[in-house]
Amino acid sequence: MFNTDENAGRNALRILGMILCGFGIIMLLGAIMGFLSVHMAEGGGPLNMSDYAIVAALISVNLMLAFAIWRLLQQMKRSDQKVPQREKVYNRFMVGSFLFGGVTGLIFALTGSFDANETNLFASGAMSPTLAIIMSVAIGVIMPAVTFYWHKNVVDEQEEAAYRFGALIAMYAFWFIAPVWWFLWRGGMLPNVNGIVLYFMTLSVALIVWFWKKYR
C-alpha cells in the first residue's frame, strides 16, 4: 500500500496527456466538420471512396485518442487503492465540467447553430445577440458562482496556494506584457493592443503556473 504512492506521482503527466488528447479530439471533430462543410459547399452528393477514407481516418484517430484518455484514466485509478473523498468530489466536478462544455460545444457545432466567425474566440466580428447573451451569462453569472463553490468547498489549501501563485505570476505577466505591446504598437512594430488576446495570455500564464505548482 505504501509503495503504490510512487506511481501516483506520474498523475500530472497523465492529466496533461488527457488534456492534450481532449484538445486533439476537439480539433479533429472540427476537421471532420470542415471537410464535410466543404463537400456540401461544392455541391454535396454522395462521398467517393477517397472522401470516405479521409473521414474514416479522422474518426479512427479520434477513437484512438478517446481510448488513450480512457487508458490514462484507468492508470490513474490504479495508481492508488483509494482516493480521498475531497479528491473524488474534485474529479467528479472536473469530469462533469469537461463533459458539459464538450457536449454543449459539440451540439452547437453539429447543429450549426452559430456561424464559425461569431464563435471564433479571437475574432472581433459581430455576434448574434442570442450568442452574446449566452456567453455573457455563462462567463459573467454561472462561472463566478461555480468558481465560488469550487474554492469554498472543493479545492484544498495546497491547490489554493497554487492558484494564488499562478494569479500572482499572471498579474506580473499582464503588468509587463501590456505596456510592452503598447509601446511596440506606438513604435509601429505590432498591431493595436488586443484586450482579449491579453486576457487569454494572462489566463494561460495563470493556468500553466497553477498546474506546475499543483502537480510538480
Partner 1 sequence: MKNQLKVLRAMRNWSQADLGEHLDVSRQAVNAIETGKYDPSLPLAFKISRLFDLPIEQIFDDEFEGAVDV
Q: What residues make contact with partner 1 under the rule CB under 8 A? A: 1-2, 4-5, 8-9, 11, 80-87, 90, 156-159, 161, 214-216
Q: Which is nearer to partner 1, 12 or 33 (CB)?
A: 12
> What is the spatial distance between Cα 97 and Cα 207, in angstroms, rounded to a whole number?
16
Q: Which is nearer to partner 1, 152 or 216 (CB)?
A: 216
Enter the C-alpha cell of residue 15.
492529466
Sign of CA dihedral 112, 115, 119, 122: positive
Smallest separation, CB 73 to partner 1 (Å) = 16
Smallest separation, CB 215 to partner 1 (Å) = 6
> What is the spatial distance between Cα 57 and Cα 176, in angstroms, rounded to a whole number?
44
Smallest separation, CB 94 to partner 1 (Å) = 12
Smallest separation, CB 209 to partner 1 (Å) = 14
> What is the spatial distance between Cα 68 and Cα 25, in angstroms, rounded to a whole number?
11
Nearest to 22 by CA among 77, 81, 68, 88: 68
Smallest separation, CB 96 to partner 1 (Å) = 17
Q: Which is nearer to partner 1, 9 or 144 (CB)?
A: 9
Q: Which is nearer to partner 1, 80 or 118 (CB)?
A: 80
Q: Which is nearer to partner 1, 108 or 215 (CB)?
A: 215
Tracing cell 474518426 back to the chain, one arrives at 59
Enter the C-alpha cell of residue 76.
490513474
Q: Which is nearer to partner 1, 37 or 97 (CB)?
A: 97
Enter the C-alpha cell of residue 138.
455563462
Q: Concatenated DSSP letters for 109-143? A: HHHT-S-HHHH-TT--S---HHHHHHHHHIIIIIH
**Region for 188 from its dihedrals, namely left if φ exceeds 0, alpha if ψ lies in -120 to 50, beta otherwise:** left
Tally the residues of the chain: 216
